[in-house]
Amino acid sequence: MKKFFWQLIGVIMLVPVLFLVGCGQSETQELRRVDTAMGTVVQQTVYVMGKNDRKNSLTGDILELIRKLEEETLSWRLETSETFQINTYAGSGKWVELSKELSQILEQCQKLTEDSGGAFDVALGPVARLWDIDSWAAGQRTGSFQVPGEQELTDALIQSGMGQVQIQFLPGEECADIYLEDGAALDFGAVGKGLALDEISNYLESDGHITGAVVSVGGSVLTYGEKPDGTAWRVGIADPGDPSVNMGILTLTGQWYISTSGDYERYVESGGVRYHHILDPGTGYPADSGLSSVTVLAENGLLSDGLSTACYVLGRERGMALAQLYGAEALFVEKDGEIYMTPGIEDLFRPVD
Ligand code: FAD
Ligand code: MG
């Protein structure tokens, strides 16, 4: 619960930043809303132009998009989701047809696995469930946390990874077939929030009355359009040493997808050691690449979220190369507090004194 509390505080700390400039034009209405979904805080500020009958339901519709994505497609916990259902076929010897949506998501995730040399891997489910750090961090588990034993970790690693999954697109088909080896399990935790931003962005675009918005789903943020007064969006980057304060501000105009992965977000401590939730698929242990956090700005939410996880596992030098391969910008905070960034982010970032 403690970690969730800090996450909540981190998001709430953003609020004054986001509201630094109010909207003065009477024809534009500002809608704000804070909820929880995908096990995290969802915060919306949406600017709507003119008389719009759907004003009242708009932020509710956006929240519903996130919940629907979780309940129908991505959750590995809820029986209602496609991911949960697909995972039940592991070891059955059967090929299963995926929806068009999940086929496209998996195809992009598979490419990111290849490009990251396996640092990012949505088939890491068996190892992630063994640690279950998200549940510990959210206070959903009681008793004392035990570090997994060597043998059970080795067994979980054998069942993990895209090597345990086959995906096949038949010529001309939009929906792929999938085959999971015994014990394999998909876990979209590393891209779910980014995927939610992609859906939200499509929704904002299709509405026609929304002039600007900033939506955060945990550590992933979408900026869209403009503020009524024309000033830039300001997105805070939490200080990994004290996530209740921002260590810097990104000043952005227009549409951006920004995701942060860090060791301070979800973790459990045992014997004076912090075990966080970003796992190294090579070792099965929490990644130890010398970083405290990585923030990535990319062309879509799947990439910003996926790349921030991958870059965290890879560390600064290899992470920087991966971000640049995708034309993304990245900001790395090392454990000693040193900050490194790709050239394109230098003009956008200002440290907080
Ligand atoms: P990221 O770095 O983006 O992702 C880390 C997560 O990805 C890990 O938690 C693990 O699941 C997975 N992962 C770890 N290492 C790797 C790797 N190397 N490659 C690929 N994947 C990796 N939390 C709750 O407490 N309760 C909930 O009910 C709940 N439901 C959720 C439902 C959905 C659909 C999603 C997407 C998330 C949900 N969460 C829930 C949150 C989830 O458990 C993770 O904590 C969250 O997705 C992590 O996001 P992040 O941006 O902090 O970290
Ligand atoms: Mg991620």
Mind listing the pLDDT tens digit for each residue in 164-186?
Answer: 999 999 888 999 999 999 999 99
Band (52; pLDDT cuts 50, 70, 90): low
CA-CA distance, 17 to 45, in Å (whole number)?
12
Instruction: Give residue ranges with CB within 6 A of ligand 1.
Output: 38-40, 70, 74-75, 77, 119-122, 124, 128, 134, 138, 187-190, 192-193, 218-219, 261, 265-266, 277-279, 281, 305, 309, 313
Ligand approaching nearest to the C-alpha of 116? 1
CA-CA distance, 153 to 142, in Å (whole number)?
21
Return the pLDDT at 15.
Answer: 38
Give the CA count within 13 Å in the CB-facing half-sphere of 145: 23
Cα of 229 to ligand 1 centre, how many Å? Answer: 36
Ligand approaching nearest to the C-alpha of 121? 1
Ligand 1 atom 23 nearest Cα: 39
Ligand 1 atom 2 nearest Cα: 309
pLDDT digits (tens, 9 = 90+) for 66-77: 999 999 999 999
CA-CA distance, 176 to 7, in Å (whole number)?
36
Return the pLDDT at 316.
Answer: 98
Residue that wins the pLDDT comparison between 132 and 23: 132
Return the pLDDT at 149.
Answer: 96
Of 7-21, 175-189, 248-262, 285-299, which gets the smallest average pLDDT? 7-21
Band (56; pLDDT cuts 50, 70, 90): confident
Ligand approaching nearest to the C-alpha of 69? 1
Q: What is the pTM of this model?
A: 0.92
Residue 290 near residue 316, CB atoms below 8 Å: yes
**Nearest atom, ligand 1, residue 189 CA:** 47
Return the pLDDT at 265.
Answer: 86
At 59, give phi and psi (nearest 5°): -70, -30
Query: What is the average pLDDT across 303-312?
Result: 98
Q: Looking at the predicted structure, is the pLDDT value of residue 25 above 70?
A: no
Q: What residues pack around ion ligand 2 (CB closer than 5 A)?
A: 190, 305, 308-309
Q: Looking at the predicted structure, is the pLDDT value of residue 14 above 60?
A: no
Cα of 206 to ligand 2 centre, how many Å? Answer: 26
Ligand 1 atom 1 nearest Cα: 190
Cα of 189 to ligand 1 centre, how many Å? Answer: 3
